[in-house]
A and B are shown apart, each in its own frame.
Chain A
């Protein structure tokens, strides 16, 4: 017959060694999921060299409410989820946790990605969420062909070319006299004849600003090259709300600036590490030779033979156009760059 102290300590021992694990694990993995309708997925974030996101992919059902909990394991990471969800959890310091609860309405593929520069392979730090239709789990939406990229391919446009001025009869070696100013252009444009093509967004997106200047010159023979460049700058950036530009500027700062530079000078802190020198959007002679749809395609598809990653899985086509619109502002006079005011 055990004496009372011995009996009590043995009971305490059993409770500690068996009861405690059973209680905690039972609550967390059995009882808690029953009490809580929201499924929680724990995702650890490490630099790509150390495994990136773990798990890097998972499947959920459309309509299912889900909590994603991100923990940074090594350095400060940032987590955003796209395309089109507008979820940006901000930076997550090592050991810290951030979570988001969301419901995917439709089947499709979404990407969670790091948007804070974390390592030389930062851009590889992505994960995939496959959302399936619970009523028809085998029917998964096929990847849709991007009509803009398809049209460029059909027209034989080389997305990776460094200039696209050649399709119009113009001097492709012409240099702009200085940085264009959309602010000045707004005042100048009211005194110029603006052809209908330049008022058409679709035309502007499929032509370079230099082609716009050439076209404007044919209607306004007495205007100076500077005035024409300013007017075209105004026409190229006039659309889009200030709010969108602010959001887009933040996206650029988080995802593009490390290579292309904060002000688009092609001088980001990772520029020296890339296979090819990143292009300088702040150089109007480069940017005014580019077509908007080509920039759009490069952003969504990525750069062939360069270290430019694809962003088509992260942002929507609308967000991509907003980014293209923002890029134009980087070539303008310094005080017009960041906000894109024009």
Chain B
């Protein structure tokens, strides 16, 4: 494995260190987020049914989404999971406290979560299910609020049944793709010295101590090599008696080259995210009104065709194309590597491209519809309030002349990083440069084709 340089952001002691170790840090952020979340649900159920005038739609699906996919995930990884209010009530119930470290075990029914579900498959299918109804969820405030409320109900229910954050780790459809794309982030929580962890028998970071709880994400920080399943709750930082946990800066996308942890469920997460970005770009930004109507359930047969098409596209067509390209690379190089391993390994090339595609797609509607936030902040329910004097602010697309340039630039960066990732993954399977290059070529072709499709959708 290639060693890449890291920059420790926390010099002991530092203000950041103090803040992250404070028991008030995460609950404060969660309570602020919970305020917005409650408002989003209230506006969804009681506010205007016009999505563009409703806080629940505008601030969840435009403001929050843009913040998440354009800023938080690419630069801070799972930082949203630090703030997310959805698991908070369940976790506070388990802990019998919000800030305090309550002595004793977590209060749950102590059930064991099924082993076969301890992966990303539930999150994959959950995301696809949400995506299937997304044209409705994203535009109808009451349905959107119902989904948000449903998330919190499921999270609380699971926190009653099982210890720790089972919802976040195995169920949350959002958490799944945040985990995948957090691999791109230049920020990582890691141990300073693995040897220190190995020699420390108490493992306070796993079992907890008087300063904090054992890792709610069920991760052993001593073995942490990727961001995917670390929810940045900083409990381990609080509990580590050796002060061996730190936040570090590193090159973008470092986790993509951690070969030993690659899995089929994560590969499929990459396929689904890229596939959904393509479908969303077609449905929401494309010129074909009939597809939008089908996604909007203009009739049940049309919607069923759309739904089946979406699932087949994401679960069969995109993976199938990818399987063919990796098979071609294997045949060209006559590699003695199992096809399944190559298929899973190279799927991680879709992580940078998928993230770039989602950023480009999100810029498309944020630039166009972001100005709704200005009026909605003054009249969140659409009841004729004018809290900050901006309720009548006109809808004004932001810098439409810049949009396509940004989208093209981001997609091209995504393609270049993806092709570079493909080559570096190929080198993990082929020690000879020529072989790695040849194995990567069909994949690079597919990546270019996909990027071209996005460009055609945005510019065509």
Which A residues fall within an 8 A CB radius of B?
2-3, 5-6, 9-10, 12-13, 16-17, 20-21, 24-25, 28, 40, 42, 44, 69, 71-73, 93-97, 99
A28 to B384, CA, bound (A): 11
Which B residues fall within an 8 A CB radius of A?
23-24, 27-28, 31, 34-35, 38-39, 42, 46, 48-53, 92, 97-100, 372, 381-384, 395
Q: Are A25 and B31 in contact (CB under 8 A)?
A: no
Q: Which residues of A contact B27 (CB under 8 A)?
A: 9
Q: Are B50 and A13 in contact (CB under 8 A)?
A: no
Q: Which residues of B contact A10 (CB under 8 A)?
A: 98
Partner of A20, one of B28, B42, B383, B384: B42
Q: Are B34 and A5 in contact (CB under 8 A)?
A: no
Q: Are A96 and B383 in contact (CB under 8 A)?
A: no
Q: A13-B34, A17-B38 are in contact. List 10 more A-B contacts (CB 8 A).
A: A5-B100, A6-B99, A12-B31, A20-B42, A42-B48, A71-B49, A71-B53, A96-B50, A97-B384, A99-B384
Q: Which residues of A contact B52 (CB under 8 A)?
A: 94-95
Q: Are A5 and B372 in contact (CB under 8 A)?
A: no
Q: Which residues of B contact A69 (CB under 8 A)?
A: 384
Write the nearest CB–CB distance from B109 to chain A, whole angstroms.
23
Output the residue of B49, B50, B51, B97 with the most chain A CB within 10 A: B50
Q: Are A71 and B382 in contact (CB under 8 A)?
A: yes
Q: Are B50 and A17 in contact (CB under 8 A)?
A: no
Q: Are A44 and B50 in contact (CB under 8 A)?
A: yes
Q: Are A20 and B50 in contact (CB under 8 A)?
A: no
Partner of A24, one of B42, B49, B92, B97: B42
Q: Which residues of B contact A21 (CB under 8 A)?
A: 38, 42
Partner of A96, one of B38, B46, B53, B98: B53
Partner of A97, one of B39, B42, B50: B50
Q: Are A95 and B38 in contact (CB under 8 A)?
A: no
Residue of B nearest to A4 (CB): B99
Q: Which residues of A contact B92 (CB under 8 A)?
A: 13
Write the nearest CB–CB distance from A339 to chain B, whole angstroms.
33
Residue of A nearest to B42 (CB): A21
Write the nearest CB–CB distance from B7 to chain A, whole angstroms.
32
Partner of A5, one of B23, B51, B53, B395: B23
Partner of B38, one of A16, A44, A94: A16
A21 to B44, CA, bound (A): 12
Q: Which residues of B contact A6 (CB under 8 A)?
A: 97-100
- Top 4 A-B pairs, shortest CB-CB distance: A95-B52, A9-B98, A95-B50, A71-B50
Q: Are A73 and B50 in contact (CB under 8 A)?
A: yes
Q: Are A5 and B24 in contact (CB under 8 A)?
A: yes
Q: Are A97 and B35 in contact (CB under 8 A)?
A: no
Residue of B nearest to A95 (CB): B52
Q: Which residues of B contact A2 (CB under 8 A)?
A: 100
Q: Which residues of A contact B28 (CB under 8 A)?
A: 9
Q: Do A95 and B53 form a contact, CB below 8 Å, given A16-B34, A17-B34? A: yes
A96 to B371, CA, bound (A): 13
Write the nearest CB–CB distance from A41 to chain B, whole angstroms.
12
A25 to B384, CA, bound (A): 14
Partner of A94, one of B46, B50, B381: B50
A40 to B48, CA, bound (A): 13
Output the residue of A2, A24, A28 with the most chain B CB within 10 A: A24
Q: Which residues of B contact A16 (CB under 8 A)?
A: 31, 34-35, 38
A40 to B395, CA, bound (A): 25
Write the nearest CB–CB distance from A113 to chain B, whole angstroms.
20
Q: Are A9 and B31 in contact (CB under 8 A)?
A: yes
Write the nearest CB–CB distance from A106 to chain B, whole angstroms.
28
Write the nearest CB–CB distance from A71 to chain B, whole angstroms.
5
Partner of B42, one of A5, A13, A25, A94: A25
